[in-house]
Amino acid sequence: MTNEEAFARFEETREKMLKGGGDARIEAQHKRGKLTARERIGALLDEDSFSEQNTYVVPRSHDFGMDKKKFPGDGVVSGSGRINGRKVYLSSQDFTVLGGSLGEMHAIRIADAQIDALKTGSPFIQINDSGGARIQEGTLSLDGYAKIFRANTLSSGVIPQISIILGPCAGGAVYSPAITDFIMMVEKVSNMYITGPQVIKAVTGEEISQEDLGGARAHTFKSGNAHFRFKSEDECLAFTRRLLSYLPSNNKEKPPVSECTDPVDRPTPELKDLLPENQRKPYDIRSLINSAFDADSFIEVQADFAQNIVVGFAKLNGYTVGIMANQPKMMAAVLDINASDKAARFVRFCDSFNIPVVSLVDVPGFLPGTAQEHGGIIRHGAKLLFAIAEATVPKIALIVRKGYGGAFIAMASKNLGYDRVLAYPAAEIAVMGAEGAANIIFRKEIEAAEDPAAKRQEKIEEFKVQVMNPFIAAGYGYVDDVIDPAQTRKALWKSLEMYLGKEETRPVKKHGNMPL
């Protein structure tokens, strides 16, 4: 073969590789409002930063006519590149090649990128758009998934892992994203389910559309499997770049510190008016977050799911913090099964990646009821206690209005592990609310009174003043400082600054046994 012929072969093979399943299938992909695997990589990475791995692999399997369906690259594009100058590894499944189905070599491409991400301490991002296990490759395909799941698990807590679902993700394929830290979904594009609508109809008789079963809204509002929901692929990919700017590349690094133009001693007088006089009246805790942390820096995680607790990342004087905040606007901010799961998993992510946790507390307790008890609120609530006690990152709590019972311990107890606890002047800290407490401990006195209703009110007030007052807890050392809401931003920053560089060790063990 002459050099010229070798070059012609190079050009022809390269063009075939770059075209994936060919022009017609690329057009079909675009018609569905979807980008191709390579276009997605182009939108995600810094310009011209992509280096491809295993570029020309083809299936080794020849069964069921696979010898005639060999596409260089085998239906997935993988390698490394940069996002805002920082290295990441990624894979992007190509639906135009055999429906993006996962065969042996396709899996090797993904797993190699995962392992190299781990070796180099770089985040791993997978873009999924696939019909699942390549049916023609049978157990080779199942083995491929096993490799990926294992690499996901080994990477967990070492490098951030993000799954972007931009098409179907069905059957056992869903478990790789489920092991990763964050799942992104796009409305009317993404689908995740173990068994699709047809199987469900055959087995249970239920009729449901793909979108209602496993679309972005189903997984952000109902199941809680997905963390972020978008209207378009472009919006999703741009957001992924932003999210990474809050995170370190691996568990040995601290998150990047960004330049802060918002003065850290900026007064927050608006927070004086945030709390309604009436303890039961709702307000939006996000107002406090938006006032106290760096302007426009808050990124809410799982905003649609378990809305009674708000979690997300923000910056404080340019430093990344993880916020966990009770949300009085939803179910009076009570902690239930889903809120406990959501907060516990978020805290564990923060702890894995050296992100300090700020807890904003206004919680009446854990949700009573048989559905919660029989659903395992004991086990689920325990996850949050476990996550906080286990975490070694700086943990700061601000008691905004009320902190009652076990929920107070989870959100703000120094002896559970919070390093610093602040409280607003009207904060109430107690085993339970004043009404409930008065009914129990003053029952006989109230019943014996000439006017039981008036007596009850008197006892409630007495309990509030004598027991719930933040200076009682401060007197025991459980609250470090009572602060003026107008100084919230400054007080939170000073608290964070006190604990930056904190190191804490734990007894040597293989791993704890979190109540799952």
Please list the active-site residues.
171-172, 406-407
Task: Compare residues 197 and 365 and give the one whose CB is closer to ligand HXC.
Answer: 197
Task: Compare residues 165 and 399 and give the one whose CB is closer to ligand HXC.
Answer: 165
- On whether the CB atoms of residues 71 and 18 are closer than 8 A, the answer is no
Kindly state the smallest distance separating residue 66's Cβ from ligand HXC, in Å.
10
Task: Compare residues 191 and 469 and give the one whose CB is closer to ligand HXC.
Answer: 191
Kindly state the smallest distance separating residue 38's Cβ from ligand HXC, in Å.
18
Task: Compare residues 33 and 452 and give the one whose CB is closer to ligand HXC.
Answer: 33
Phi, psi of 134 (to 5 degrees): -70, 115
Sheet strand arrangement including 86-93: 51-52, 76-83, 86-93, 124-128, 161-165, 182-186, 228-230
- CA distances for 178 relative to 164, 192, 194, 221, 227, angstroms: 11, 10, 12, 16, 11
CA–CA–CA angle 16, 21, 23 (5° rounding) = 85
Kindly state the smallest distance separating residue 130's Cβ from ligand HXC, in Å.
7
Cβ neighbour number for residue 106 with a 10 Å cutoff: 29
Kindly state the smallest distance separating residue 133's Cβ from ligand HXC, in Å.
4
Kindly state the smallest distance separating residue 34's Cβ from ligand HXC, in Å.
10
Cβ neighbour number for residue 394 with a 10 Å cutoff: 25
In degrees to the nearest 10, what's the CA dihedral of 335, 336, 341, 342?
-60
Task: Compare residues 170 and 360 and give the one whose CB is closer to ligand HXC.
Answer: 170
- On whether the CB atoms of residues 84 and 244 are closer than 8 A, the answer is yes
Cβ neighbour number for residue 299 with a 10 Å cutoff: 18
- CA distances for 308 relative to 75, 100, 363, 470, angstroms: 42, 38, 10, 24
What tokens were used for 388? 């906080």
Phi, psi of 312 (to 5 degrees): 170, 175
Instruction: Tell me the helices (H) and strands (E) count for the chain, helix number first.
Output: 20, 17
Kindly state the smallest distance separating residue 206's Cβ from ligand HXC, in Å.
18
The CA distance from 128 to 342, in Å, is 24
Task: Compare residues 208 and 264 and give the one whose CB is closer to ligand HXC.
Answer: 208
The CA distance from 405 to 162, in Å, is 36
> Given the rule CB under 6 A, which residues bind ligand HXC?
98-99, 101, 131-135, 142, 145, 168, 170-173
Kindly state the smallest distance separating residue 142's Cβ from ligand HXC, in Å.
6
**Structural Rg of the chain based on CA atoms:** 26
User: CA 119 from chain center: how many Å?
Assistant: 24
- On whether the CB atoms of residues 61 and 67 are closer than 8 A, the answer is no
Kindly state the smallest distance separating residue 95's Cβ from ligand HXC, in Å.
7
Task: Compare residues 32 and 502 and give the one whose CB is closer to ligand HXC.
Answer: 32
Kindly state the smallest distance separating residue 338's Cβ from ligand HXC, in Å.
26
The CA distance from 110 to 87, in Å, is 17
- CA distances for 136 relative to 60, 132, 143, 159, 231, angstroms: 12, 12, 14, 33, 34
Task: Compare residues 122 and 191 and give the one whose CB is closer to ligand HXC.
Answer: 191
The CA distance from 354 to 181, in Å, is 15
Task: Compare residues 211 and 497 and give the one whose CB is closer to ligand HXC.
Answer: 211
